[in-house]
Each structure stands twice: as structure tokens, then as C-alpha cells.
Amino acid sequence: MNPRRKQRLIVILSIGGLLSAAVGLMLFALNDNIDLFYTPSEIIEGKQGKTPQVGQRLRIGGLVVPGSVTRDPDSLQVTFSLIDTGPKVSISYQGILPDLFREGQGIVATGVLTSPNHIQAHEVLAKHDEEYMPPELAEKMKGIKHQKPASLDDAL
Amino acid sequence: MFKWLHPYAKTQAAYSLSQRLTPWFAGICVLLLVPGTLWGLLFTPADYQQGDSFRIIYIHVPAAMLSMSTYVAMAVAALVGIVWQWRTAFMAMIAMAPVGAVMTFIALFTGAAWGKPMWGAWWVWDARLTSELILLFLYCGVIALYSAFDDKQQAGKAAGIMALVGVVNIPVIHFSVQWWNTLHQGATITKFDKPSIATEMLWPLLMNIAGMMMFIAALTCMRLNNEILRREQHRPWVSALLHDRRENQNAV
């Protein structure tokens, strides 16, 4: 390689190295802000020593605790609990839930922390995992029998 | 090591090579994309969680993966252009830019159309979605910078530097779902473990990824040829080529 090309290559590679280091440090510093949501244990126990304040607007992501979903028969009001590895946080929400909302499903809810372990949500999103398989296989492997939610006719 | 590549720095050699490759890329693309898409959309079983909605994966994942690969290819072309001062490399770079931009747009669009029924939102500012949007802006920036200069050699250098700077974004997109918690799910096939997708669902996906790759290659070759002809229109070999073509047309 002739010296001029070599010099250009070295200049470009070193600029590239510096740039990726700068971006890396920046992303590392902003780490907390890039996370989309708090997990339930981060809300109760704090994230890096800081617990969210009551009244703070935040997002929470966790699994819906089986058996915790209660619906108000007269309205769209629903309450449920979310859990990850530690304590639970309860959520209340009024509105239409996404189709994928089930017990045991990952959920991301946006709302206001009204007490240290309760969130009044105004948006509930369903998170799905990266596994794709036909229903029969899912039943065999995971023992879950997922079916489409009963259609409106059946529900009435 | 790369001595065999040197002849292709000449526009004429590059033109004839990509002219020869185009029909192959296009042919293989049709052979893979058509059956892959039909298989994926009509014959694979529905997903246990998402039902038929998951089938958008057969468009979304190839477009998203290749929007990143195309960017890397574009950046390699830019690096070659800047370090070795190959004009042909800059032409290849700008040939790839709009193709990659369209792939990024398809990935974002199909992602939104998938997100609405499954997540419940068209768009969420999570790390994966945001970094993919930045990729679209990078492509647009490269295209805009290239067209801002009248001197296309200068344009190539400026846009090339922009393309190289943007490479930082590629690992961020790929690892965003691991480094931060996001609404977007983790990687299904681009990881070292066994793919977490059932085999009968995986095959059409792989076919579509390969087919989309061929599609991008064919489009790139066609755009590269046009770019070469436009930039070299005053060279004798181009006039001779055009003259021959006109003769053939008259003969028919």
C-alpha cells in the first residue's frame, strides 16, 4: 500500500475509533434515559439507589401476575399486578386492552405513580417475545393453550 | 490479496461486470422471493400468540436486516472510495443509498403496521425504533449531501464521510434490544443460539431474506450502471456502446 493511502486509512480508522468511543460513552451516560420502562422491582427498590417519586409520570414493564386481573362489570375499568423477579406493583387502567393482554403476558404501561406501589395507567401496551411457533408446538413445549379470546357473540 | 479487484476500479470493467451480474441477481431474486412470500403468507402455520398477524415478519425482518447490511456495504464502498480514491466506489455508494433508504422505510412502515394490532401502538420511542429511524435519516443525509455538490468527486467524498460516521449507528440498532429494555422483542435469528422460531416458519423467512438480498443487489447493479453511463457519457467507450445499441435497435 502506498504511503498516502496508508495515511488516509490510518486517519479514517482513528477518527472512527474516537467517534465510536464518544458515542459509546454518551450512550453509557444516558443509559437510564434510553430504557423504555422501569421494572416493578426498580419502582419499589429503586434503580441505582433512586426510587421514583409519587406523582411521577413513568412507564412500567413486567409480567401480568396470573389471577390478579379484576374487571369492573359495568365499565372498562381493570386492575392487575405486574411482577418481574421481586415485588409486585398494581396497575389500574380504564380503556381497551390490546389483544395480546393475558395473564402471564409482558406488558408496558404508561401512567402516574399514585402511591409507592400503585400506578394509574392511561396507556397499556402488550409486549410479545421473539419466539414464533404454531399453536400445537407451543402446547407441547410450554404447556400453554393459547386461543383467540372468545368472540363477542360468545361473550354476550 | 485484493489485486483481482483492481481492474474493476475502471468504470468500463465495472460496467460490464455489473451488466453481466444483473440478470443473475434478478433471476435468483424472483426464484426465492415469490415462493418464499407465498409460502410464508399462505402455507406456514399461524403463530401461537399472534395468529396470522405474525406473517408480516416475512416482509419486516428481511427489510430491517438488509437496511443495516446495505448501510454497511455502502460504508465499505465509501471507505474504498476515500482511501483508494476510486471513483467507481463512490458511484457504487450512491447507487446503494436510495435502495437502503427504501428498505429502512419498509421496515419502519411494516413495523408500525405490526405494532398497532399486537402492541397497541403505531410508534413507541424505544431504543430499537428510534435508532432505526436515525438510520433512515442517515441515508437521507447521504443522498442529500451527494446531490448538493455539482462536482461529483467532491460529492462522493463528502457523502462518503457522512456514510462512514453513520456506521456507529449499526451496532446500536442491533444490540439496542439487549442493552436497554425496549418494547421491541429480542433477536430471533441473528444470535448465536438456535433460532427461536419453529422450523416450518423459519425456511420461508430465510428464503425471503436471501431473495431480498438478491433484489437489493440487482437494483444496485442497475443503478450503478446508470450512474456510470451518466458520469462517463463523454468517454469514447460509452459513445461506442450507445452507438452499438442504436444500431441494434435500428436493425430490429
pLDDT tens-digit series, residues A99-115: 888 888 889 999 999 98
Q: Is B183 on the interface with A (CB under 8 A)?
A: yes
Q: How many CB atoms lie within 10 A of CB A76?
A: 11
Q: What is the pLDDT averaged over residues A10-35?
A: 89
At B1, list the grid cell: 490479496
Give chain B positions within 8 Å (CB) of A100: 49-50, 118-119
Strand partners, A127: A106
Q: Looking at this protein, which amino acid is placed at residue B224? A: L
CATH code linked to domain A35-130: 2.40.50.140
pLDDT digits 0-9 by tens, B194-240: 888 888 889 999 999 999 999 999 999 999 999 999 998 888 888 88
Name the residue range of residue B210's domain.
Answer: 21-251
Between the alpha carbon of residue B119 and those of residues A13, A90, B123, the distances in Å are 41, 20, 9
- When pLDDT is cut at 50, 70 and 90, the band that residue B97 belongs to is very high
- When pLDDT is cut at 50, 70 and 90, the band that residue A144 belongs to is low
Give chain B positions within 8 Å (CB) of A146: 48-49
**Residue in B47, B124, B180 closest to A125 by CB:** B124
DSSP A110: E
* Distance between CA atoms of residues A151 and A146, nearest Å: 14
How many cross-chain Cβ pairs, A to B, lie less than 8 Å apart? Answer: 116
Residue B143 resides in a domain: yes
Residue B16 resides in a domain: no
| B 2-61 near A (Cβ less than 8 A) | 45-51, 54, 57
pLDDT at B2 over 80: no
Q: How many domains does chain B have?
A: 1
Q: Which stretch of A22-31, A42-51, A138-147, B161-170 has the lowest confidence by average pLDDT?
A: A138-147
Q: Is A87 helix (H, G, I), strand (E, B) or coil?
A: coil
Q: Are A119 and A148 in contact (CB under 8 A)?
A: no
Main-chain phi, psi angles of B178, to 5 degrees: -95, -40
Residue B13 resides in a domain: no
Q: Are A40 and A88 in contact (CB under 8 A)?
A: yes
Q: Is A150 helix (H, G, I), strand (E, B) or coil?
A: coil
Residue B164 resides in a domain: yes
pLDDT computed for residue B169 by the predictor:
94
**Taking CA atoms, what residue in B is nearest to A9?**
B83
Q: Is B126 on the interface with A (CB under 8 A)?
A: yes
Residue B3 resides in a domain: no
- When pLDDT is cut at 50, 70 and 90, the band that residue A143 belongs to is low
Residue B5 resides in a domain: no
At B60, list the grid cell: 419486516
Domain ranges of chain A: 3-32, 35-130
- When pLDDT is cut at 50, 70 and 90, the band that residue B163 belongs to is very high
Residues 6+ apart with CB under 8 A from A46: none
Q: Is A27 on the interface with B (CB under 8 A)?
A: yes
Q: Looking at this protein, which amino acid is placed at residue B41? A: L
pLDDT computed for residue A136 by the predictor:
79
pLDDT at A141 over 90: no
pLDDT at A2 over 90: no
pLDDT computed for residue A36 by the predictor:
86
* B153 alpha-carbon distance from chain centroid: 23
* Distance between CA atoms of residues B188 and B196, nearest Å: 5
* Distance between CA atoms of residues B222 and B207, nearest Å: 22
* Distance between CA atoms of residues A51 and B172, nearest Å: 28
Give chain A positions within 8 Å (CB) of B197: 131-133
Residue B159 resides in a domain: yes
Q: How far apart are the first and last CA of chain B?
A: 45
